[in-house]
A and B are shown apart, each in its own frame.
Chain A
């Protein structure tokens, strides 16, 4: 069976995010948002093949932990996971 997943990877709390800070500065400078707090992340849209829901879930978490993120620096969130 084919499963569709959407994963968001972000820097962990407490890890400085220079890209987020740069965007923050622009928002403040342009007065679009005086009180902004931006954190930058990455969005992944992927398909996994597996015999059942449990195996698909295990496979997806392995991909997230070993390829899409590094646990020292980042955490991941599965936004959507369903049979395609």
Chain B
């Protein structure tokens, strides 16, 4: 398994993501956001942090970077997988690769915490805890889009104690083809015992299964 990790000016979770991938025996490489040749990767990560200073809004300018512009082709032609974590999720929504949008937290505060979550994949719900660190994490979508998301079972991760005002407690969702994954919490920061939390392993294992099937 080979992962490409896109690095924007301001990305700060690229090293965590690479170490998490390597922990599971995946190969992982950094890709500067100018890169357009994504074909040699089984999965592309858009890691957390910031991109272009998050000017205008988080993810707004990054959606025009060559690597992000190349994602549609990568998904369609190579059948590739894309995972956006935190700022990466914001970029995917701005690029309209995932429905809805992330808006400012209800509290107006930057939230840096460990939050309880419910993962639901293949009707096997599990309770986990993951770190969150965001100012614009309130997921919103039009009522029609929300209905489509829920009717098609696209939500795989919900907050148990909603920290940011996200509609339907949504913390993470797939696209309809299960090829594009976006989530606000940081599984890559909860892999190693030293960080005090290892529930992120659940997410990487789940993803490995999805890739192998």
Which A positions have Cβ atoms within 8 angstroms of B? Answer: 15-16, 18-19, 21-22, 42, 67-68, 70, 72-73
Contact between A18 and B106, CB atoms less than 8 A apart:
yes
Check B57 against A18 for contact (C-beta < 8 Å).
Answer: no
Q: Could you list which residues of chain B lie within 8 angstroms of chain A, going by C-beta atoms?
A: 56-57, 60-61, 64, 94, 100-101, 103-108, 140-142, 165
User: Closest residue of chain B to A42, judged by CB?
Assistant: B56
Q: Give the shortest distance, in Å, between B109 (CB) and chain A (any CB).
A: 9
Q: What would 10 more interface pairs be, CB under 8 Å, given A18-B108, A70-B60, A73-B101? A: A15-B140, A16-B103, A18-B105, A18-B107, A19-B104, A19-B108, A67-B56, A70-B94, A72-B101, A72-B140
Q: A15-B103, A16-B165, A42-B56 are in contact. Are A72 and B108 (CB under 8 A)?
A: no
Name B140's contact: one of A19, A67, A73 (CB within 8 Å).
A73
Is the Cβ of A72 less than 8 Å from the Cβ of B100? Answer: yes
Given A18-B104, A18-B105, verify A72-B56 contact (CB < 8 Å). Answer: no
How far in angstroms is the closest Cβ of chain A from B138? 8
The CA of A61 and the CA of B132, in the complex, are separated in Å by 36
Q: What is the distance, in angstroms, from A20's C-beta to the closest C-beta of chain B?
A: 10
Give me 30 A-to-B residue pairs in the complex whose CB atoms sit less than 8 angstroms apart, sorted by A's number: A15-B140, A16-B103, A16-B106, A16-B165, A18-B104, A18-B105, A18-B106, A18-B107, A18-B108, A18-B165, A19-B104, A21-B108, A22-B108, A42-B56, A67-B56, A67-B60, A67-B61, A67-B64, A68-B56, A70-B57, A70-B60, A70-B101, A72-B100, A72-B101, A72-B140, A72-B141, A72-B142, A73-B101, A73-B103, A73-B140
CA distance A19 to B103 in the complex (A): 11
Specify the chain B residue showing the minimal Cβ separation from A11: B103
Tell me the smallest distance from the CB of B141 to a CB of chain A, in Å: 7
Instruction: Tell me which residues across on chain A come within 8 A of B64, comparing CB atoms.
Output: 67
Determine the distance from Cα of A52 to Cα of B86 in the docked complex, in whole angstroms.
42
Give the distance to chain A from B135, nearest Cβ to Cβ, in Å.
Answer: 10
| A21 cross-chain contacts in B, Cβ below 8 A | 108
Which residue among B100, B104, B105 has the maximum number of chain A CB atoms within 10 Å of its CB? B104
The minimal Cβ–Cβ distance linking B195 to chain A, given in whole angstroms, is 30
CA distance A21 to B138 in the complex (A): 15
Which residues of chain B are within 8 angstroms of A22 by Cβ–Cβ distance?
108
Closest A residue to B108 by beta carbon equals A18
Specify the chain A residue showing the minimal Cβ separation from B94: A70
Which residues of chain A have C-beta atoms less than 8 A from B108's C-beta?
Answer: 18-19, 21-22
Top 7 A-B residue pairs of the complex, sorted by shortest distance between their CB atoms = A18-B108, A72-B101, A73-B101, A22-B108, A18-B104, A18-B106, A19-B108
Question: What's the Cα separation between A82 and B104 when bound, in Å?
Answer: 34
A70 vs B92: C-alpha distance when bound (angstroms): 13
**Whole-angstrom CA separation of A72 from B103 in the bound complex:** 10
A16, A22, A70: which has the most chain B beta carbons within 10 Å? A70
